Structure 1
Amino acid sequence: MRIVHEPPNSWQDLELIVAKILKECGFDTERGKDITTVRGTVDIDVYAKDHNSTPSSVYLIECKYWNTDIPKTIIHSFRTVVGDYGAQHGLIIAKKGFQSGAYEATKNTNIHLLSWNEFLSFFENRWLHNRLRNLHRISEPLRIYNDPLDVSDYIAHLSEVEMMYYQTLCKDYMGYSIYSHKMTYEKIKSLHLSHKEQIENIIQTAQKHFDGISINCYNDFFEHIEQKCVEGIRLFEELFKDTDAKLHVQKYSY
C-alpha cells in the first residue's frame, strides 16, 4: 500500500500532489515560488521548509512531467540553483526517468533524482507519522464522547429521547472511534514503523466495517476516518450543547 493510489495525470497534478504530501508531512509548502539567488530570481515548482528538523531545512523541488528522460544538463542547472540558494535538499521528480550521466552528476551533492514511486517511498514514514499524530488529535474527542463513563455527568441531563439519540450516535461512530484508537495505539507501540503490515492489517479490517468505502491507499483511509470523526464530534457537540461537555472533552483530549 502506498500514500496515494493513482499517479499524477498532468504536470499541474504532479506539483499539487507533491506539495500536498509534503504539507501532510508537516512541512510549510509553496507551489510556484520565486526565490532569489546570487544569480537572480528563479521559479521553483515546489518549495518546502521543514521546521521540525534542527536546524530547519529547505527543500527545493522540480517536478518534470516529461515523456522523455531528464538530461544531465537539467541536473547541472538545478544543482547550481540549490547551491546558490543554500538549500539543504534538492529533489527532481520525473514522470519517466533520467538519461545516462544524470545520476553521476548528483554524486557528492544534496540532489536526489526520484521517480514518482521513489518520491512516495522517500517520505512515506514521515507522512505516516504525521498523519497518525493528526488522527490522534482529531479523533480523541470522539473516543471520549463515545464512552458513557467519560461523559456520565452530562448524560444525566439528557431527556429520554436525547438519551436514545446518544445511544444511536455511539452505535454509528463506535467503529471510527475504535479504529482510530487502534491506529494511534500501533503508532505508540511501534514508533519506528518498521512493521507497516500492522497498520495495513488494521486498515483491511476496518474496511470491512465501512460500508461502500473503497480503500486503495493510506490516504483513502485517513481522509475517510478523519472526516467521519469530525462529523461524529460535531453531532455529539450539538447533542450536549446545553451542557459543559465540550469543555470537559477539550480538557482531556490534549
Structure 2
Amino acid sequence: MRDEPYVAALPPRRENSRREAATYRGLQDIVGCAERLVASTDWQGQILLGQDGSLRLSTNAGHAIELAPRSLDVASSPSYVWARDVGTDAACFEVPSPAEVGSQAVLEALCGSEADVMVFVPARHDGPIDAIALTSPPRFYRSSGRSWTTQCVHVAQSRCWVLRIVCPLTEISLDDIASRLRQHRYLHVADQDIADTALLCEFMADVGWPDLWFPQVVVFSAHICGTGRSSNAVVWAAATPACIALYLCDAIGALAHPGQQKTEVARALHQALERVRSAHR
C-alpha cells in the first residue's frame, strides 16, 4: 500500500459525488508523492493543496507560485491539470496529465518533432466493463517546437495509463533509441520487453516501487518499423498520476535555486528518486 499522503483529507464539495471524492483523493496522492520527493532534497519546499483544487508551491526563502486548477479529473482527460493563470506566462507553469508527461518525455528523448499517440486510460468505477470506449475525439498538442495528436481510449483495467507513441525518425538504430530514452530524467527504461501490464507491475515492484505508484514514465517496449527515411520508432510506455509529481518537484527546485542550471535541479531530483525507491526495497 502507498504511504499516507502528507496533505489532510479534504471533503468533496458535493456529498453524494463519488467521482469528485475520488478526484480529490487522487490529487492528494500526487501532492503526497511530490512532498516525499522534495523532502529527500535540500530544497525546503512545501506544496499546499486547496479545497478548490488549487496549488501553492513555496520555499522557505519566500518564493512561491500559485497554480489554478485547469482540469482536475486526472483519470479521464489527457489535458492540463494545473496552470498559473497570469497573462502570457501561464504556459510556463502548466502541469500536464500523465498522458502528456509521457508523450512529451518520449518526444524530447527521441528528439522527434511530431508523433501519433494512443492513450489507454484505466477505467474507473463507472468505466466500461469488458469493453473499450472512445471517450473523446483526437486532440492536437504543440509544445517546445514539437507536436503530437492524442487519442484517448478507456479500457477495462485499472493498473496504469498505457501509451503507444509512433514517432517518425530517419536513419536511427534501436540501440540509439534505447540510449536516448535512458538519458531522460522522467523515463525509466525496462531492461527487457514486457508483454502485459501485470508483468510490468511485477517489474516495477522488483525495482523499488512495490505500491505500483511509480513516478517515472516506464518504457517497456521500443521497436523500429520501416527502413531509412520511412522508419518509425514505436514506443510503448506506462505512467501513473504520480509522474505529475515530477513536474511539481521541478517547479520547487527552480524556486529553491532560481539561478541554478536545469541540469543541477534534474540531478537533485534523480538522486531523490533513487533515495525514495531504495527505501521501498
Normalised by the size of structure 1, how large is the TM-score?
Answer: 0.30
Greater C-alpha radius of gyration: 1
The structure where strand makes up a greater share of residues is 2
